[in-house]
Structure 1
Amino acid sequence: MAVMDSKSEFDLTQILNGVSFVTPSPLGIHQQILGKLFFQLQLHLQKENLGKIFISPLDVILEKDVNVVQPDLIYIKNENLSIFHPNGHIKGVPDLLVEIISPGSISRDSVEKFAIYEKYGVSEYWIVFPEQKVIEVFVLKEGKYSLICSTENTNGIISSSAFPNWNLHLDLLFL
């Protein structure tokens, strides 16, 4: 039986503003929501051929040794796919990033990473709050994030400028 080298194959270390830390593995509810979101987006992307979607753990190197993050979900439009290195990481700014809040990550995801993604110019940022069954969608306008959608019920619908002709029914994520 082969043993995986955990340092090179599966590393949950991130760097925010030059400070490295290791995140704990996500909880089951986090993974269920991530899987459902990936599935819904992947169906649309296969049909429309707009770009590629990736899930964590995958390093997004915004600035080497300063800001290296592992968002839960990463979307890159076809015209920007040169930032994806198939045998490595993503080096550059993706078009959309999603963070699913876990216990202990609310400040990191909604304050620290929010500011970092805004600074580097990530066009769209979603924050998913599983306990509240809420998704907040932020779009970059003139260098600052603007909240364009926040819903607090599972019957709501989210749309995204990153995915034309697509809507997400929240009850598909939070059942």
Structure 2
Amino acid sequence: MKNIKPYPTEDELPSVKTLNEIDFSATYSYADYMRFEFEERLEIIKGYIFEMSPAPSRIHQKISGRIFNPIYNALNGYQCEVYSAPFDVRLAKKSQDDREVFTVVQPDIVVVCDQTKLDKRGCIGAPDIVIEILSPGNNKKELINKYEVYEEAGVKEYWIVSPTHKTFFRYILDDNGKFQPTKLLTEGEEVTTKIIPGLKLVLDEVFKD
């Protein structure tokens, strides 16, 4: 009788040691992502690989901190938790099996209120708030795909912050599971959200030179 070799387990699959081994036209799962051993940061959106910027700029990091800290302070006493990149968010559709998860992203900041979604590897499922701080490395395809996967996953609020233009834009998920745009905000205005009742994000302070 002919011996049939079983499909290899995740532990048996070879590691990927350099970015040159990645086929950007192929599709990848979170199981593949876990085999990447190179230093370059990648995200997988709908199975396709997107390279992240080598390192955020100083302005990017400064703005990230000015958003993260008020959120962290406002969450004192609440069950919600806030995390900043690098922090893996796996957006599963049909199964949470690593080989069936085809979107894993590293938003700049996330707020997660459902503790069951948190594990030692990050978050599995939709955070309540996702915050992306734009950089010159972002491309339109990436932003469109992220909008779609965040909406499909049920992210309640998606915040987009532009350091270049000093603007803040927010999508809020409606009762039909669709993102609704809100007013574009800039310096001189404040951000509040029902998800974090005590938060008042002052954009003058966020974008201060």
Task: Tell me whether the two structures share a fold, i.e. TM-score over 0.5.
Answer: yes
Structure 1 unaligned runs (5+)? 1-6
Change (3 A) 1:109 1:41: farther
Match of 1:18 in 2: 47
CA distance in 1, matches of 2:47, 2:38: 22
Cα deviation digits, residues 130-152 of structure 1 (max 9, x gap)? 1111111111011111112321x
C-alpha contact 1:128 1:134 (8 A) present in aligned 2: yes
Structure 2 counterpart of 1:54: 83
Between structure 1 and structure 2, the one with the greater Rg is 2
Give the deviation of 1:104 after TM superposition: 2.7
Q: Which runs of 5+ in 2 are unaligned?
A: 1-35, 93-99
Give the structure 2 partner of residue 66 of structure 1.
102
Q: Percent identity?
A: 29
Q: Does residue 149 in structure 1 map to residue 178 in structure 2?
A: no
> Taking structure 1 as reference, are residues 116 and 102 closer, same or farther at Cα in structure 2, changes over 3 Å only?
same
| Alpha-carbon distance change, 156 to 54 in structure 1, aligned in 2, over 3 angstroms | same
Cα 1:117–1:38 change in 2 (3 A) is same
In 2, are the aligned partners of 1:124 and 1:137 still within 8 Å (CA)?
Answer: yes
Q: What is aligned with 2:64?
A: 34
User: Normalized against structure 1, the TM-score is what?
Assistant: 0.86
Larger fraction in helix: 1
Q: Note the aligned Cα RMSD (angstroms).
A: 2.2
Report deviation, 1:22.
Answer: 2.5
1:16 offset after TM fit, Å? 0.7
Secondary structure of 1:164 counterpart: strand
Q: CA deviation at 1:27?
A: 1.2
Task: Write out per-residue CA displacement over residues 59-78 of structure 1, whole angstroms, 9 at most, x where no aligned residue.
Answer: 1010254111110001011x
